[in-house]
Amino acid sequence: MIIDRFEGEYAVVETESGMIDIERSKLPANAAEGDVIELCGGAYVVNSAETAERREKAASRLRRLMGNAND
């Protein structure tokens, strides 16, 4: 699941089956847009490794689009 955006007291989250709303209070305080989250033991946690990997892939694609062929 990926946090798409925050709307008031809710996070709009992209899942494999579509978009869902999760109360912001149920997420870790450090959760941010673009973070990969998982439900573990009844609590949402940020998967920092997966989030970093997704962000690096996006940055790499952007660099290629901008003409930096070294990536």
Note the pLDDT of residue 67: 85
Note the pLDDT of residue 70: 58
Strands (E), 1-71: 2-7, 10-15, 18-23, 37-40, 43-46
Instruction: Tell me whether strands 37-40 and 18-23 are parallel, antiparallel or unpaired.
Output: unpaired
| Residue 54: partners with Cβ closer than 8 Å, 6 or more residues away | 2, 34, 36
What gap in Å lies between CA 67 and CA 71, rounded to an integer? 10
Q: What is the pLDDT of residues 12-69, one digit of tens each?
A: 999 999 999 999 999 999 999 999 999 999 999 999 999 999 999 999 999 999 987 5
| Residue 7 pLDDT class (50, 70, 90 cuts) | very high
